[in-house]
Amino acid sequence: MDRIIAMMSGLGLIISATASAAAEDGAALFVKNCQTCHIVAKNGGTRVGPPLWNVVGRKAASIEGFNYSAGLKTSGIVWTPEALDQWLTFPKKMVRDTFMLYRQNDPAIRKAIIDYLATQKD
């Protein structure tokens, strides 16, 4: 019985965390989760990671002058919403030698960030 209660409590925390993520908007989630390494502004420059302006629909490793891993340069990835979702879930599963270490397990947070990035374009 204690085991069932513990499992149900854990499920409640997951549901609560997902609901909280849905309540935050994508811009705030981007700032919280991505802005340390990425800028999402037209002509915003680079940080540790490449700029993410116009990222949705862009070919991976295509920002001139940015130091991408060899694997990302040859990956052939196009950053569709589905590819970004897979990437944010586990980047090293997509491109083993990527420099990106960040992973996001919450699908609602990933979706909100990707939806926000899709609006950041010319």
Distance of CA 54 to the CA centre of its chain: 14
* Domain residue ranges in the chain: 25-119
Looking at residue 45, its pLDDT comes to: 85
* Residues paired with 59 in a beta bridge: 78
Looking at residue 43, its pLDDT comes to: 87
**Which CATH class for the 25-119 domain?**
mainly alpha
Looking at residue 5, its pLDDT comes to: 44
The number of C-alpha atoms within 13 Å of 11 and in the hemisphere containing its C-beta is: 6
Please give the average per-residue pLDDT across 81-87, as a whole number.
98
Which tens digits make up the pLDDT trace of 63-72? 999 999 999 9
What is the value of pTM for the model shown?
0.79
Please give the average per-residue pLDDT across 107-118, as a whole number.
97
Residue 6's pLDDT band, with cuts at 50, 70 and 90, is very low
Rounded distance between C-alpha atoms, residue 52 and residue 70, angstroms = 19
Contact 69/92 with Cβ under 8 angstroms? no
Closest CA to 94 of 109, 79, 112: 79
Which tens digits make up the pLDDT trace of 10-63? 545 455 455 445 446 999 999 999 999 999 999 888 899 999 999 999 999 999
